[in-house]
């Protein structure tokens, strides 16, 4: 699957389902973003079961602000609607492949339990 453009109108629907979603926050003027873009696109072609979304921080400032994006490119990974990874900077192809393997191997029951504990400690707020 090639990458898809994510907007504030498609964001909720993209993250609401089960499975893995990788989001690349980028901008056209960003040199490192232009270096990471082809890597992200190439890896997306080999993982048809994963959603690879690109969020243009210039056009989607509301989404960038919602996630407090201060440096680009920033890669965020969600599994079953839960954020499991966030990192700014260019990730080389082997690193991106390794990250995908690690996300696939996550015990999501354990992750959900940890999220529930954290929410309970924070007074039940998300």
Q: Residue 89: give its domain's CATH number.
A: 3.40.30.10
**pTM score, two decimals?**
0.89
CA 9 to chain centre: 17
> What is the domain count for the chain?
1
Residue 126 lies in a domain: no
Asked about 33 being catalytic, the answer comes back as: yes
Provide the 10 A C-beta neighbour count for residue 50.
Answer: 18
Residue 102 lies in a domain: yes
Q: Whose structure tokens read 């498609």?
A: 10
pLDDT grade, residue 20 (50/70/90)?
Answer: very high
Question: What mean pLDDT do residues 116-120 have?
Answer: 87
Checking if the pLDDT of 6 tops 90, the result is yes
Give me the catalytic one of 33, 55, 69, 96: 33
Checking if the pLDDT of 1 tops 60, the result is no
pLDDT digits (tens, 9 = 90+) for 42-99: 999 999 999 999 999 999 999 999 999 999 999 999 999 999 999 999 999 999 999 9
Residue 43 lies in a domain: yes
68 Rama class: left (phi>0) / alpha (psi -120 to 50) / beta: left
The lowest-confidence range among 30-34, 40-44, 74-78, 119-123 is 119-123
Tokens of 110: 């354990």
Containing structural domain, residue 24: 4-121
Give me the catalytic one of 30, 84, 88, 100: 30
Tally of residues, the chain: 126
Asked about 81 being catalytic, the answer comes back as: no
Checking if the pLDDT of 124 tops 70, the result is no
| pLDDT mean across residues, the chain | 92
Cis peptide before 106 (omega within 30 of 0): no
């Amino acid at each position: 699957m090639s990458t898809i453009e994510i907007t504030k109108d498609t964001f909720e629907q993209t993250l609401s389902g089960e499975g893995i979603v990788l989001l690349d926050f980028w901008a056209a003027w960003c040199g490192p973003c232009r270096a990471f873009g082809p890597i992200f696109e190439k890896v997306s072609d080999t993982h048809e079961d994963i959603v690879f979304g690109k969020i243009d921080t210039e056009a989607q400032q509301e989404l960038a602000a919602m996630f407090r994006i201060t440096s680009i490119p920033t890669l965020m990974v969600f599994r079953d609607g839960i954020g499991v990874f966030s990192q700014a900077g260019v990730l080389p192809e082997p690193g991106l492949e390794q990250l995908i393997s690690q996300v696939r191997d996550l015990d999501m029951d354990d992750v959900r339990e940890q999220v529930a504990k954290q929410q309970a400690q924070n007074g039940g707020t998300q």
